[in-house]
C-alpha cells in the first residue's frame, strides 16, 4: 500500500485488541472491547484556517476625529472683528463647570456659572438675541478642565450650528476670576 494511504487509514482506525491476553475462557465468550481512536489533527487545521480567515477579513476600527479648522500663522495680523454685544466667552473649569460672560472682561463683568449639560440653553438664548453674522463664541479651557469637557463643548458648537467660534488660551485675569 501507498504510505500516504496508510496514514489516511490510521487517522480514524478502530483498534481491536483483546483485553484478556492469553487466558483461556471457559463457557461464555466475552465480547471484544473495541477502543476507538479519532485523530483531531484535521479539525485543528480547520479551526486555524477559520481563525486566519476571520482575522484577514475583518476591518480594524478606524479612530474617529473631529475636523477643527485652524488658522494659518500668517492670519494673526488679519484678525476677525467682532461686535462686543455678539461675543460670549465660555471658560471651562473643574468638575464639568462652565463660567461665561458676554462682551469684554472688565472688573464689573459678571461671571455666570453653568455646567456642560446646561450650556446649550445659554448658547440657544444668545443665538436668539444676536444676529447670526454677529455671534462669536470664544472657548477657553482652564487648567482644571478635562479633555472630555473640551470635546463636549466643541460638540455643542456643532449641535447648535454656531458658525464662528474660537478655541484660545485662558488669560491670567480670567484664571484668577475662576479661582475665586
Q: Return the sign of the alpha-carbon dihedral for residues 104, 105, 111, 117.
A: positive
pLDDT at site 59: 78
pLDDT surpassing 80 at residue 86: yes
Residues 6+ apart with CB under 8 A from 19: 32, 33
| 8 Å CB contact between 14 and 34 | yes
Name the pTM for this structure: 0.58
pLDDT of 108-149, one tens digit each?
A: 777 888 888 889 999 999 999 888 888 999 999 988 889 999
Query: Residue 47: pLDDT above 90?
Result: yes
pLDDT tens digits for range 51-80: 999 888 887 777 777 676 666 666 555 666
Instruction: Give residue 144's pLDDT.
Output: 87
Percent of the chain at pLDDT > 70 equals: 76
Class level of CATH domain 83-179: alpha beta
Beta strands in 71-146 (DSSP E): 87-92, 97-102, 112-115, 136-141
Break the chain into its structural domains and give their ranges.
3-18+31-57, 83-179
Amino acid at each position: 500500500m501507498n504510505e500516504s494511504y496508510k496514514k489516511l487509514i490510521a487517522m480514524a482506525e478502530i483498534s481491536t485488541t483483546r483485553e484478556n491476553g492469553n487466558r483461556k475462557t471457559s463457557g461464555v465468550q466475552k465480547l471484544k472491547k473495541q477502543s476507538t481512536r479519532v485523530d483531531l489533527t484535521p479539525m485543528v487545521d480547520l479551526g486555524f484556517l477559520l481563525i486566519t480567515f476571520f482575522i484577514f477579513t475583518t476591518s480594524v476600527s478606524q479612530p474617529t476625529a473631529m475636523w477643527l479648522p485652524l488658522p494659518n500663522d500668517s492670519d494673526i495680523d488679519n484678525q476677525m472683528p467682532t461686535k462686543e454685544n455678539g461675543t460670549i466667552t465660555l471658560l471651562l473649569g473643574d468638575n464639568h463647570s462652565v463660567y461665561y460672560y458676554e462682551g469684554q472682561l472688565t472688573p464689573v463683568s459678571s461671571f455666570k456659572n453653568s455646567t456642560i449639560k446646561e450650556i446649550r440653553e445659554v448658547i440657544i438664548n444668545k443665538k436668539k438675541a444676536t444676529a447670526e453674522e454677529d455671534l462669536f463664541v470664544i472657548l477657553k479651557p482652564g487648567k482644571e478642565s478635562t479633555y472630555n469637557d473640551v470635546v463636549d463643548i466643541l460638540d455643542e458648537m456643532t449641535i447648535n450650528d454656531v458658525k464662528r467660534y474660537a478655541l484660545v488660551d485662558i488669560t491670567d485675569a480670567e484664571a484668577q476670576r475662576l479661582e475665586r
